[in-house]
Structure 1
Amino acid sequence: MTDKYMSPTPLLDFEASPIQCLVANRGWLSLSQTDRIGAAYDFVRNDIGFGYNSNDALPASKVLGDGYGQCNTKGTLLMALLRALGVPCRFHGFTIDKRLQRGVVPELVYPLAPRNIIHSWVEIYHEGQWLNLEGFILDAAVLAALQDAFPQRQSLCAHGAGTDCLQSPNVEWRGASTYIQKTGINHDFGTFDDPDTFYASHRQLTGIKGLLYRLVIRHWMNLRVRKIRNGHVPRIPGGEVSLVPTQSDLKTQEAI
């Protein structure tokens, strides 16, 4: 595997002391590759809570310091930890339909959100194949709250989740790909060596909207996430929660 999937970058700053101390203190380097991946994955999934940072393009050490993140920032931290542990990884960029975020984005400002929201997952090279890691985005408490709020549902594309198997999503690391927002994807940018390359040409929420997001809206969203985590899932007007076609819906349409 080439160095491009193992090297530090300004965003994947795994040589920074906070990341090096974390890896050393947890003893992760003494584990097998499979267990190293699992340790880093579980840490990012649950020790780093689901939440919204000030920017997608944050260095991994800053995300670690924040202690929370969403798909893009958690992904940057996971990639940095994986490379620190000698696991080759790369970035895969997408957009998701903004309706996946409904229930997290307050209704008052929901119309201001971009229709297509930058999204990503992490790809790792493990045992001779590339695997997709996306299931780390929602921490276990947030996922459990959604499962409790919609006990009869399997398909959900709202409140930060995009899955057609809500009650048993493939989010645990078991040596295979994991997903939790996959059904919300509506555009594929392809793979990149690192997040730095992607964000050099794909940015969002600039100007006045970006300023509002950083100073006001994201804090409001984080408050709503905390409420979800505590079991108070916001209602969506009309009760509509399956808001974009799932993979099974698309297969059904193709069959018709």
Structure 2
Amino acid sequence: MSQKYLAETPILDFQSGAIQALIAERGWVYLDPVDRIGAAYDFVRNDILFGYNSDDALPASRVLADGYGQCNTKGTLLMALLRALEIPCRFHGFTIDKGLQRGVVPELVYPIAPRNIIHSWVEVLIDGQWINLEGFILDQGVLGALQETFPDRTSLCAYGAGTDCLQAPPVDWSGQSTYIQKTGINHDFGVFDSPDDFYKEHRQLSGLRGLLYRLVVRHWMNRRVARIRQGHVPTIPGGEGNLLPKQASITLKEVV
């Protein structure tokens, strides 16, 4: 196995004191490889709450300090933990349609949000096979609130979720791929050795719009996510049509 899938990078800074202390405190190094993946995955899924950081390309230690994150930043932390635990992993980059974030993005600014939003998941190597991990993005508090609000729905593409099996999405670690935003994907960038390599080529929300996001909009979004977690799920203008997943517009690249 190439060492590139285990390497530390400026973003995957798993030698940082906080990350090493977390691993030592939890005793994860004493688990077998499959259980190490599960322990790191469960931690990132539920101990790191769903929320929006100041930037996609934050180092893992900063995401851990924030205590919250979205697909890209929670993925960074998961990759750092996995590599620290000697689990080979890589980054798979995409974009998702902004409709997936409707209900989280305030309606006042939704029209000016980018149509295509950078998204990613983590791939881990187990027994010679790459497994996709995306189901860690929404913590159980947020997911449970959506399930209770829409008990009769199977498909949902809003509020940070993109799934066609809302009541039983594949989010628990069982040695198989996990997903929670997959139906919102509309472009596949392919795989990268690290998030550092991806963000050298693909960045979002620069200039004035980026400043507005960092200073104002993301805090507004995080308050909305907190209210969703408490069971206060906002109504989306247009109703039913906006809650359905978009028809798949791409075929995910086969990568080995």
TM-score by length of 1: 0.96
Establish whether residue 184 from structure 1 lines up as the match of residue 179 from structure 2.
Answer: no
Shift of 1:245: 2.0
Match of 1:112 in 2: 112
In structure 2, C-alpha distance between the alignment counterparts of 1:47 and 1:122, rounded to whole Å: 18
Do the aligned partners of 1:163 and 1:246 also contact (CA within 8 Å) in 2?
Answer: no
Match of 2:143 in 1: 143
Match of 1:75 in 2: 75
In structure 1, C-alpha distance between the alignment counterparts of 2:203 and 2:86, rounded to whole Å: 29
In structure 1, C-alpha distance between the alignment counterparts of 2:127 and 2:176, rounded to whole Å: 10
Q: Tell me the SS of whatever aligns to 1:40.
A: helix
For 1:1-27, what per-residue CA distance to the aligned partner results, in whole angstroms no more than 9, with x for missing partners? 110000100000000000000000000
What are structure 1's unaligned runs of at least 5 residues?
251-256
In structure 2, C-alpha distance between the alignment counterparts of 1:180 and 1:71, rounded to whole Å: 10
Match of 1:210 in 2: 210
Match of 2:168 in 1: 168
For 1:148-200, what per-residue CA distance to the aligned partner results, in whole angstroms no more than 9, with x for missing partners? 01000000000000000000000000000000000000000000000000001
Shift of 1:109: 0.3
In structure 2, C-alpha distance between the alignment counterparts of 1:110 and 1:83, rounded to whole Å: 37
Do the aligned partners of 1:100 and 1:243 also contact (CA within 8 Å) in 2?
Answer: no
**Amino acid paired to 2:243:** S
Q: Give the alignment's Cα RMSD to 1 decimal.
A: 1.4
Do the aligned partners of 2:6 and 2:88 also contact (CA within 8 Å) in 1?
Answer: yes
In structure 2, C-alpha distance between the alignment counterparts of 1:204 and 1:158, rounded to whole Å: 20
Match of 2:34 in 1: 34
**Amino acid paired to 1:229:** R
Establish whether residue 51 from structure 1 lines up as the match of residue 51 from structure 2.
Answer: yes
Do the aligned partners of 1:164 and 1:246 also contact (CA within 8 Å) in 2?
Answer: no
In structure 2, C-alpha distance between the alignment counterparts of 1:244 and 1:74, rounded to whole Å: 23
Shift of 1:246: 4.7
**Amino acid paired to 2:87:** V
Q: Tell me the SS of whatever aligns to 1:237.
A: coil
Match of 2:95 in 1: 95
For 1:85-143, what per-residue CA distance to the aligned partner results, in whole angstroms no more than 9, with x for missing partners? 00000000000000000000000000110000000000000122000000000000100
In structure 1, C-alpha distance between the alignment counterparts of 2:12 and 2:53, rounded to whole Å: 16
In structure 2, C-alpha distance between the alignment counterparts of 1:107 and 1:36, rounded to whole Å: 40
Do the aligned partners of 2:96 and 2:186 also contact (CA within 8 Å) in 1?
Answer: yes
Shift of 1:243: 4.3
**Amino acid paired to 1:245:** K
Match of 2:3 in 1: 3
Establish whether residue 198 from structure 1 lines up as the match of residue 198 from structure 2.
Answer: yes
**Amino acid paired to 1:16:** S
Using the aligned pairs only, state the percent identity. 73
Shift of 1:242: 2.4
TM-score by length of 2: 0.96
In structure 2, C-alpha distance between the alignment counterparts of 1:204 and 1:131, rounded to whole Å: 27
In structure 1, C-alpha distance between the alignment counterparts of 2:140 and 2:214, rounded to whole Å: 26
Q: Tell me the SS of whatever aligns to 2:214.
A: helix
Match of 2:253 in 1: none
Aligned length in residues: 250
What are structure 2's unaligned runs of at least 5 residues?
251-256
For 1:210-232, what per-residue CA distance to the aligned partner results, in whole angstroms no more than 9, with x for missing partners? 00000000000000000000000
